[in-house]
Amino acid sequence: MSMPAVLVALVALALASTTLSAADAATAKGLTADDLVRLARVSDPQVSPDGRRVAYTLRETDLEANRGRTDLWVLELGKRPRDGASSPPRRLTQHPASDSAPRWAPDGRGLYFLSSRGGSSQIWYLALTGGEPQQVTTLPLDVGSFEVSPRGDRLAVSMEVFADCVDLQCSVDRLAARDKHKASGLIYDQLFVRHWDTWKDGRLSQLFTLPLAADGKAGKPVNVSRAVRADVPSKPFGGDEDYAFSRDGARIVFSARLSDRSEPWSTNFDLYEVAADGSDAPRNLTADNPAWDAQPVFLANGDLAWLAMARPGFEADRFTVMLRSARDGKVRALTGDWDRSVRHLGASFDGKRLLATADDIGQVALFDIDPATGVRSRLVGEGQVQAFAPAAQGVVIAWASLGSPPDLHLAARGQPPARLTSVNAALLGARELGASEQFSFAGADGAKVHGYVVKPQGWIPGKKYPIAFIVHGGPQVSFANHWSWRWNPQVYAGAGYGVVFIDFHGSPGYGQAFTDSISQDWGGKPLVDLQKGLDAALARYDWLDGTRACSLGASYGGFMQNWIAGNWPDRFKCIVNHAGIFDQRTMYYTTEELWFTEWENGGPYYANPQVHEKFNPADHVTKWKTPMLVIHGALDYRVPYSQGLATFTALQRQGVESRFVFFPDENHWILKPANSLLWHAEVIGWLDKHTGDASPPQTR
C-alpha cells in the first residue's frame, strides 16, 4: 500500500471510533469537560522480548478521590500486522494504589512495575502465569524511575538523596531530623531555590543499581552517579529515557546537567558512561558539546545513539541524532541534514535501526532512520504519535489526533495501522466530535503559516458560530493535530464554538528557522500571524462569526492575551488569560529556569533591558479595555502567580470588566479533576457571557 493510503487508513481508524449512526447523531452531544476528565488515558506501551505482547498503563479518573489512578494491562499481538490484537486486552492489576511503568523481565515471563501499594513507591514483580505481585525492592526512600538490565541481573533505579550523604540511611535520618525541627526556614546559597512547583530542599535525584538475586529480591544499592553532582533523571520532567543499559548490561549511560550555581541558566546536559556495578567512575562522553545531549539509545552492535543540540542556552534548538561507534569511538551527526527536531529516540525491535518522532507540518510523525546513512522514512505521518514500542510485526504506537484521544495501534511499513485498543469506545460512541481541517495562509513577511479549525458539535450549514481563538504556549510548541488533556478544542466545539488556532512563527515542525524566528520578537511576527490567520479563517470558513470571537491562551499564550489587550484591543469580545506574563522585568527576576527568558530576550534583564521591555505588556495597560478572565495557580514557579495578580490589579484599577480565578493547589497546569471541571466552567461561562450565548457551560 502506498504511504498516502496508509495515512488515509489511520485517519479512518480515528473517525471510526467517533462515527455515529443516523439515529445516534440526532441525540448525541459534543464532548464536555466532564467527559474530558473521565476519559481513560493509555500510555507507556512496552513490548515483550519475543515481540508478541504489549503491556501498557491505563489511567482512569477517580472523581470521588479527586485523582487519576493507574493500572497495568496486557494484550496479545496477532501473527500478522493487519491482525492487530489476537484477543481482548487483559487487566493485570487493580489496586487502590497506582501501578505504573511496566517493564518486561528479559525472559518474558513477567513484568516489573512501580507501585505504592506497600506504603512507598517501590518495584514489584508480577508473573504472567498468575499469582499476586511480589515486592522486589524494600528501599527506605521512594523509587522515582527504573530500568531492568538486558540480562535481568540488575536494576537501575533513581531516588532522591542528599548529595553529601554516604548512604541511604543518612538521607532518611536527615529527613526525619528536619521534620522534628520546629523552625521552618529554608536557607540557600545558590539558585535553584525552587523549580516548577517545588521548593528545593537540598536533595538530588541520583541513579543507583541493585543486583537481582535468584529469588527475585534486590540487593544492596550502589550510587553510580555520585561523582556527578546532578539530577538523574533531570527535573522536573525527566524519566528513564535519561539513562540506558548497554546491550550486554555491563555499562550504563546517563544524561545529566551539573547542579552548580550556573544550573538555572544552563542547558549543558552531558552523557556519562559508568560500569553498571559502580566499579569505576563516570566518564563524560560529550564534554566537547556545551549544549544539550539526551536520550541515550544502544543499537544491537553496541553503537550509541543520542540526541544533541548545538546552541548552549536554547532549550528549543534542533535535536540532531548523533552516533558513536562501538568499534573506534568516532562520533558523527546522523541527521545533520534534516530540518526537524527529534522528540523521542529509540531502536527497532532487532536493534539494527533507529526510530524517532518529530513535529512535522502540524503532526507528530514517526520515522525509521538508517544508522549507516541517516536516511529517514516516514512510518506514520498523520496525527500524533505520543509513544512507541518496537514489536516483531511492526511498531506499537500510542496514537492520537484532534478527533481521537490516544489508543494503541500497530504500525507496519506499507500496511494500514491496526487498532489494538478502544479504551473510550463507550463514552465516545455517544458523542459527536467536531471535524477539523488544516489550512495555510501568508503570514508575517509573507511566510507560509499553518492553522486549524474545528467545527462545533451539531454544525449546520449556513449557521454562524462564535469563535474560540486559542493561542498556544511554549512558545516553541504546536497546537495542531494533537489531543490535549488541558486545552482541548473539542470541549469548546462541544460547547458550540468554532475553534481556530494558529501555528505562528516559533512553532516547531516547519523548519528550525521558523522556530528560531520568535526569539526576541515575541509580540512581532507571532501577533501578525494571529491577525492574518484569523482573517484567513474568516475568509475561508463562512460559518465562523467574526463579530463574536474570544481569545484564549496560557503561558506564552497568556502573555499574548495581555499583549493582544494592549496591541489589538478592538478585535475580541473577551479574553481568557491563564498563567500569562504581565511584566517582563519581574518575570525575569522571579522565574526559575533563567536560560529560557535569557535566550528569548538576548541575555539577562540587567544586561539587555531594552529587548525585554520591547514586548512588555505592562507598558500598554492604559489601552486595555477587553473583558478578561485571569487564572493562575499558587504553585506556578515558571510564571509566578504575582504575574496573574498584577494583571487583575491593572484591569480592576482601570475599571475593565475582569474576574480572577486562583488555585492554591495547582502549578502551571490544572491537574486535579475537580479543579479542571471548575476551570472549564469558568472559561466557557466567560465565553458564553461575552459572545451572547445564554446557555449554561457544559460540565456535566
Q: Which residues are catalytic?
A: 555, 636, 668
192 preceded by a cis bond (ω within 30 of 0):
yes
- What is the residue-wise DSSP string for 232-274? SS-TTT--GGGEEE-TTSSEEEEEE-B-STTGGG----EEEEE
- Sign of the torsion formed by the C-alpha atoms of 190, 196, 197 and 202: negative
106 preceded by a cis bond (ω within 30 of 0):
no
Taking the alpha carbons at both ends of the chain, their separation in whole angstroms is 44
Residue 614 and residue 157: Cα distance in Å, rounded? 46
296-299's contacts with Cβ under 8 Å and 24+ in sequence apart are 296/243, 296/244, 296/253, 296/254, 296/255, 296/271, 297/244, 297/345, 297/346, 297/347, 297/354, 298/244, 298/245, 298/246, 298/247, 298/253, 298/347, 298/351, 299/247, 299/347, 299/351, 299/352, 299/354, 299/371
25-30's contacts with Cβ under 8 Å and 24+ in sequence apart are 25/432, 28/430, 28/431, 28/432, 28/457, 29/430, 29/431, 29/432, 29/457, 29/494, 29/698, 30/431, 30/432, 30/433, 30/434, 30/456, 30/457, 30/458, 30/490, 30/493, 30/494, 30/495, 30/496, 30/698
Residue 255 and residue 271: Cα distance in Å, rounded? 5
Phi, then psi, of 354 in degrees rounded to 5: -110, 150
